[in-house]
Chain A
């Protein structure tokens, strides 16, 4: 419900309205970010050319395109796939971050900070280094392996946080830190024992979209769609999960089932994101908090808008990463960490002493 004040100065309570207008504006913002992302780079390409190529690919424009082949390649084969992958990964991390925060009643939960992403990247590394072919047309083993690694990590972090006598919100993060460090160590050992040419793997682990291809976006789409559908479907129930578990149960919620479905869905979405972009932190922390500050805590609003903010943020972060120290490309994870770490401290200080904790 939303409340407003009518002309008599009385408080009126209005029923919940789905934020269609905010979502529409958000999609327009993403589109603008995407166009900027495609146009700007080591070679600047006029926005009109970006639109020309987009329209011709969508069969909306039949005239002849007067573009040099080089521009065509840059726009369609390099920058577009990169921007679209950043969009999908940003949306995934924003939505899964908000979901973990709701489930664990912990405003600092982020797929990266609670160890899910590290677990997922360990899963992907194992497949990567095993030598077995992992891509079959439009099916890839990478997201599946990431999912297995991520789900193991999140369950261990969760078990530690509920078994620990100290139910403070830091427990989950510390457990996540330990699991993340462990998974990263194993990843390191596996890498040292394998083939010497590790450049693709290394750049992937650093996090980024340097090697982004159209096929990557297509490969992770099904997992994202399945995971996000379940999460959005449970968004109203996630509101009731903000109460203590027994209280939510007295309101008719099957809390065990809800937790299982949402952990699996959020991890699936995270794994899809990690499987082609590597470790990118803090997006899942920043996006939901901006929405919370602006429009409150209703998960029906929070989840879709976190996805939108995550997508726009990651497109811009990637743009910054590849242009700020021209001609060197920074891993995008560096940019998100630069923005995210102060943000993390801010949220930490703000929630200090709050009753919201990991119990």
Chain B
């Protein structure tokens, strides 16, 4: 098993952000975490990435207890695209993407031709080659998202976590980025696990293999988009009436209010 969460809980002060979640992730799955604001999606991603430590419970990555892994080992296995991080304006796009090779380099080792080819390939995959001469402070929100994605691809880790990768993007960039994520996932030919926290239920329905629906720090439903995104589930958790129709081309559920 790639990723195994056993009974994990997490508290911010006295607030239970995550309550006894157990979940398993298998190779090849693209999983969306959905749910209302504050349901625990981002917190769960941070627990998996090691940014936060669970108050109780255990996280296994490739059968190894995450708690015992060094940051370096974890970074070889897991890459992360955070939501709206503060980025240093003066760093050039290629230099930033190249930072993704860090987990593969020793302290005194510098990037080789191979590392640099990997970075260049992820830049062309995310179609940001034309940003080669720009700095992080000089690009748009969509370009920023694709640049962070390029860094994560450069990391070449089998597990990729993305926190609201489509937030703050207009509709054309949303689709572009999410299709890219799907493409990257499929290039790992069945080995990779991609987990994204996402607001937009329709995007989640269209592009995910599996959806975890969060409510108040727990998983309320877990399954395929059709199994999870039912009228009942959504109305009870989001508290507003919806209609579910079927997407005319993809056959996936579409939620309209």
- A residues at B contact (CB < 8 Å): 1-3, 11-16, 18, 105, 233-234, 236-237, 239-240, 242-244, 246-247, 249-254, 292, 296-298, 300, 354-356, 359
Contacts and interface: CB of A to CB of B under 8 A. Distances in A.
B66 interface: no
B89 A355 contact: yes
Interface in B61-115: 70-76, 78-80, 82, 85-92, 94-95, 98-100, 102-103, 105, 107-108, 110-113, 115
A297 B87 CA distance: 13
29 contacts: A1-B111, A1-B119, A3-B94, A11-B133, A13-B119, A13-B120, A15-B112, A15-B115, A16-B111, A105-B88, A233-B107, A239-B95, A240-B99, A242-B91, A243-B85, A249-B75, A250-B50, A250-B79, A251-B100, A252-B74, A252-B75, A252-B76, A252-B103, A253-B102, A292-B90, A296-B95, A297-B91, A354-B137, A356-B89
A249 B102 contact: no
A138 to B, nearest CB: 29
Nearest to B114: A15
B89 A254 contact: no
- Size bracket, chain B contacts: 35 or more
B49 interface: yes
Contacts, number: 120
Contact of A11 (B108, B112, B132): B132
Nearest to B51: A246
Given A233-B108, A250-B49, A297 B90 contact: yes
The interface residues of chain A, by DSSP majority, are classed as loop
B75 A251 contact: yes
B133 A16 contact: no
B90 A246 contact: no
Nearest to A242: B88
Given A3-B133, A233-B107, A251-B100, A13 B94 contact: yes
Given A233-B108, A246-B82, A250-B75, A355 B129 contact: no
Contacts of A239: 91, 95, 99
Contacts of B145: none
Contacts of B107: 233-234, 236-237
Given A1-B95, A250-B78, A13 B116 contact: yes
Contact of B88 (A15, A243, A253, A300): A243
Contacts of A105: 88
Given A1-B95, A1-B116, A13-B116, A250 B80 contact: yes
Contact of A251 (B110, B119, B130, B155): B155
Interface in B109-162: 110-113, 115-116, 119-120, 123, 129-130, 132-133, 137, 155
A254 B70 contact: yes
Contacts of B137: 354-355
Given A233-B107, A249-B71, A252-B76, A244 B85 contact: yes
B92 A3 contact: yes
Contact of A1 (B51, B76, B82, B98): B98
B130 A11 contact: yes
Contacts of B92: 1, 3, 296
A296 B90 contact: yes
A296 B102 CA distance: 20
Contacts of A252: 70-76, 102-103
